[in-house]
Copies of this chain bind each other. A is one copy, B any other.
Amino acid sequence: MTQDELDASVGYVLKRAQAALRGAMDAALREHGLTTPQYVCLELLDQRPGLSNAELARGAFVSRQSMNVVLRGLEEGGLVERPAQAAHGRALPVRLTAEGRERLRRAHADVFEIERRMVGVLGPERVEPLLADLTRMAEGLGG
């Protein structure tokens, strides 16, 4: 593989774009006392209240164990809450607290601005195909 081929590697530019986004998010979220995985977790819970740990893990593309660590941090910070016992299954539905919702709201504004800046360099007509292509690639790998 030559240098040209590396620059032209979809995997490489994918990683580059993701690293740039992650770095920008880490920096912005630090001011809100959140890590990027924590933010992702809050975002998922805001959209689908009551998701279980395992469901959150799948949504954030991490293991159950990793998500459990993230959840424990959020719980200690009073941003989410879990019932002590499950109603019927084993899954414990997680919900945002009022403080969690408020923290998310403020952090979201900054993250939204980052994403706007990232996507803003593209022509608006590119966004839809880009979303479709990335989704199909993930599905193509069984993701």
Contact = CB atoms under 8 A, between A and B. Distances in A.
Give the interface centre of A11, A14, A25, A136 by most chain B CB atoms within 10 Å.
A11
B14 A14 contact: yes
Contact of A133 (B44, B122, B136): B122
Contacts of A46: 1
Task: Give the size category of A's interface with B.
Answer: 35 or more
Per DSSP, are chain A's interface residues mostly helix, strand or loop, or mixed? helix
B137 A17 contact: yes
Nearest to A18: B18
Given A1-B43, A20-B138, A121-B137, 4 more contacts: A6-B47, A10-B119, A13-B134, A126-B129
Interface of A: 1-3, 6, 8-11, 13-21, 23-25, 40, 43-44, 46-48, 61, 108, 111, 114-115, 117-122, 126-127, 129-131, 133-143
16 contacts: A1-B47, A11-B21, A11-B115, A13-B134, A14-B17, A14-B18, A15-B61, A16-B61, A20-B143, A21-B143, A23-B141, A118-B140, A121-B140, A122-B136, A126-B133, A130-B133
